[in-house]
Amino acid sequence: MNSPLRIALIGAGNMGQQHYHHLKHLAEATLCAVADPGPQAAGMAAEWDVPYFADHRQMLEQMQPEAVIVANPNNLHVSTALDCLSMGVPVLLEKPVGVHMDEVRELVAASKATGVPVLVGHHRRHNPLIVRAHELVHSGALGRLTTVTALWQLQKPDSYFEIPWRREPGSGMLLTNLIHDLDLLRHLCGEVRQVQAITSNAVRGFANEDCAAVLLQFDSGALGSLTGSDAVAAPWSWELDSGENPVYPRQSDQPCYLLAGTGGALSIPQLKRWQYAEAGAGWHQPLLAVQENFTADEALRLQLQHFVRVARGEVEPLVSVADAARTLALIEAIREAAETGRACAPALIG
Ligand SMILES: NC(=O)c1ccc[n+]([C@@H]2O[C@H](COP(=O)([O-])OP(=O)(O)OC[C@H]3O[C@@H](n4cnc5c(N)ncnc54)[C@H](O)[C@@H]3O)[C@@H](O)[C@H]2O)c1
C-alpha cells in the first residue's frame, strides 16, 4: 500500500478550501503545505496544521510536494503550473487552463516536454451523472445528435464581485462559468467547428460580459445554442439544477442541457430520455419518457482521487492541458465572433 501522496495547495481561497475539504477525508493523499500571499491564508494553514508560504516557489523548493493543486486567480494559472512542471511536480490545475491561447500553448508544450502530468479541473466530467449521459450519447441511444440547447442563467450576488480580480479582464462569465458548460458540450457532443455569438455587459457594466448568446455548429453537423447570464433571477444552470454543490439551493425539476437526436432526447441533469415505441413514429404518437439511473457521487472528490492516480503515473489525465486548451480556444472563438459579428472557428491545438 502506497503512503498518502503529499499534496500542496497553491491558492487557499474559495475553491482551494473546497479541495481541502475533500482532501482531508482521502486516505490516499494528505495536505503538506499551503502557498498563498493573501491575508487569510496563514491562518488557514495554521488551522489545517501545515506549513505556510506566501510564495509558491519557496514552498516547492522547501517542501518538495509530490503533487500540487493550483487554485489561484485565472491569470496566474499558466505561470504557476510551469513553475511546478519545472520542478517535476504533477498539477491539478483549476479551470480555466489559462487566459490566452499563447500562454496555454506554452503549457501544452511544457507538459509534453517534461512528461509531468497536468489534470485540468473541469470537474463536472467526473460526475457520475455526466459519465452516464456520455455513455448514452455515445451508445447511440439518441440516434444522430441533431440539436443541443444549453442554459446557464442565474443570479450572482453583488458581493461576489467585491473581490477585484472577478471584475477584471482575465475573469468574466465566459471564462469563469460558461467554460464549464462549453467543456461539457465538447465532452458530450464532440468538437465545435464554428460559433456565432453576441455578448453584453449592460446589466453590471463591468469590463466582462454578464450575458451571452452563442450558436454552435459541431463537427458532427449537430447545431446548438448556449444562453448565459449571471445577472438574472432564473433557475436554469448546472449549479442550481444538478445538486452537485449544496451551497446552491436546488431546482431539481429544471434542466440545463437538452440534447435531441433522430432517435431520442435527453434532459440533463434529470437524465430523462424520450423515445418513440416504434421506429418511424412521429408527433401523433405518444413520446415515451424513460428515467435513466446513475449512482450519485461527489465530482470534486472523484476528481481528486483520479488526480492521485494521475500523479502516481497510473492513468492519463481525464482532462489534459491540450484538451482543456480546446475549450479555451472555443471561448476565444466566441469572443472573436462577438467582437466581429462573424462566424469563427476555434484555433487548432498542436
Ligand atoms: N471548478 C470549479 O467549479 C471552480 C469554482 C470556483 C472557482 N474555480 C477556479 O478556482 C480558482 C480560484 O477561484 P476562487 O473562487 O477560489 O477565488 P478566490 O479569490 O476565492 O481565491 C483565490 C486565492 O488565490 C490566492 N492568490 C492570489 N495570488 C496568489 C499567488 N500568487 N499564489 C498563490 N495564491 C494566490 C488569493 O489570495 C486567494 O486566496 C479560479 O481559477 C477559478 O476559476 C473553479
Distance 16 CA to ligand 1 centre (A): 7
The reply to whether CATH 3.30.300.30 applies to domain 5-124+300-317 is no
Closest listed residue to residue 327, CA positions, set 341, 340, 343, 346: 346
Question: What is the average pLDDT score of the chain?
Answer: 96
Q: 267: phi > 0 → left, psi -120 to 50 → alpha, else beta; which?
A: beta
What architecture (CATH level 2) is domain 128-296? 2-Layer Sandwich (3.30)
**Positions of E strands within 54-210:** 67-70, 91-93, 118-120, 145-155, 192-200
Distance 82 CA to ligand 1 centre (A): 17
3-state secondary structure of 8: strand
349 pLDDT band (50/70/90 cuts)? confident
Distance 111 CA to ligand 1 centre (A): 22
Residue 172 confidence (pLDDT): 86
* Residue written as grid cell 462569465: 173
Q: Are 80 and 55 within 8 A, CB to CB?
A: no
User: 181-227: per-residue pLDDT in tens?
Assistant: 999 999 999 999 999 999 999 999 998 999 999 999 999 999 999 99
- As a whole number, mean pLDDT of residues 288-308 equals 97
Distance 78 CA to ligand 1 centre (A): 13
**Span of 112-121, 180-189, 201-210, 337-346 with lowest mean pLDDT:** 201-210
Residue 102 confidence (pLDDT): 93
Q: Which of 17, 20, 36, 69 to mutate to test the pocket of ligand 1 (most atoms within 8 A of CB)?
A: 36
Of all residues in the chain, the percent with pLDDT exceeding 70 is: 99
Q: Which residues' Cβ are closer than 6 Å to ligand 1?
A: 10-16, 35-38, 41, 56, 71-74, 76, 94-95, 121, 123, 163, 176
Residue 279 confidence (pLDDT): 87
Distance of CA 2 to the CA centre of its chain: 29
In the chain, CATH 3.40.50.720 sits at 5-124+300-317
Give the number of the atom of ligand 1 that is nearest the alpha carbon of residue 15: 16
Distance 165 CA to ligand 1 centre (A): 10
Distance 10 CA to ligand 1 centre (A): 9
Q: How far apart, in whole angstroms, are the C-alpha atoms of residue 120 and residue 96?
A: 8
Residue 157 confidence (pLDDT): 96
Residue 39 confidence (pLDDT): 95
Give the number of the atom of ligand 1 that is nearest the alpha carbon of residue 123: 1
Q: Read off the pTM.
A: 0.95
Closest listed residue to residue 148, CA positions, set 129, 132, 133, 135: 133
Helices 101-114 and 77-86, axial angle in degrees (round to 10): 20
Rg (the chain; Cα; Å) = 21
The residue whose CA has the least distance to atom 3 of ligand 1 is 123
3-state secondary structure of 62: helix
295 pLDDT band (50/70/90 cuts)? very high
In the chain, CATH 3.30.360.10 sits at 128-296
pLDDT at 167 over 90: no
User: Which residues have a Cβ under 8 Å from the Cβ of 246 and sit 6 or more positions away?
Assistant: none
64 pLDDT band (50/70/90 cuts)? very high
Helices 14-23 and 299-311, axial angle in degrees (round to 10): 70
